[in-house]
Amino acid sequence: MIEHAIAELKKLVPFKETTEAGDIVLVLAEENKQPALLYAVVTGIERDDSRRDEWWHLHLHLLSVPPQAVVWTLRTPQFTGQESFTMGGEGRFIKAVRIDRKQPAPPASEPKSKPHNGGLRFVK
């Protein structure tokens, strides 16, 4: 089930090949056989010196309500989306999203956004 969801995500989302502090990652979590998606910000990556093999403490802030800080201990292929893994018997996939930080300026002829009378208002 999770492998099919991963294949579909790879068609829709521009992913990076690497993951580093400051990246936004997409997390696919299988919960009761149903896929759940959420974003997180990588706040740090530290080597786990307690293990002989190469494992890392991946510090994440899950962008959920409320936001949550978590630390997952993973191998490089796991936190760079090269392979899926399980946590507590449930499938997981994590990979950094490529975001173009340069946004083109709107054309000069385009009017500025006008506030609307809905429940939300634009505040500068």
- pLDDT, one tens digit per residue, over 17-71 is 999 999 999 999 988 778 899 999 999 999 999 998 899 999 999 999 999 999 9
User: Where does the pLDDT of residue 100 fall: very low under 50, low under 70, confident under 90, or very high at 90 and above?
Assistant: confident
Whole-number Å distance between alpha carbons of 86 and 56: 16
Q: pTM of the prediction?
A: 0.76
Length of the chain: 124
Question: Would you state the structure tokens that stand for residue 84, as one six-digit string?
Answer: 């899926």
The neighbouring-strand residues paired with 44 are: 59
Burial class for 7, CB neighbours closer than 10 Å (0-12, 13-18, 19+): exposed
Asked if 94 and 83 count as a contact pair (C-beta separation under 8 A), the reply is no
Largest interatomic CA distance in the chain: 61
DSSP for 104-123, please give it. Answer: PPPPTTSPPPPP-SSS----
Lowest mean pLDDT among 28-32, 55-59, 73-77, 102-106: 102-106
Structure confidence at residue 49 (pLDDT)? 93
More confident residue, 22 or 103: 22
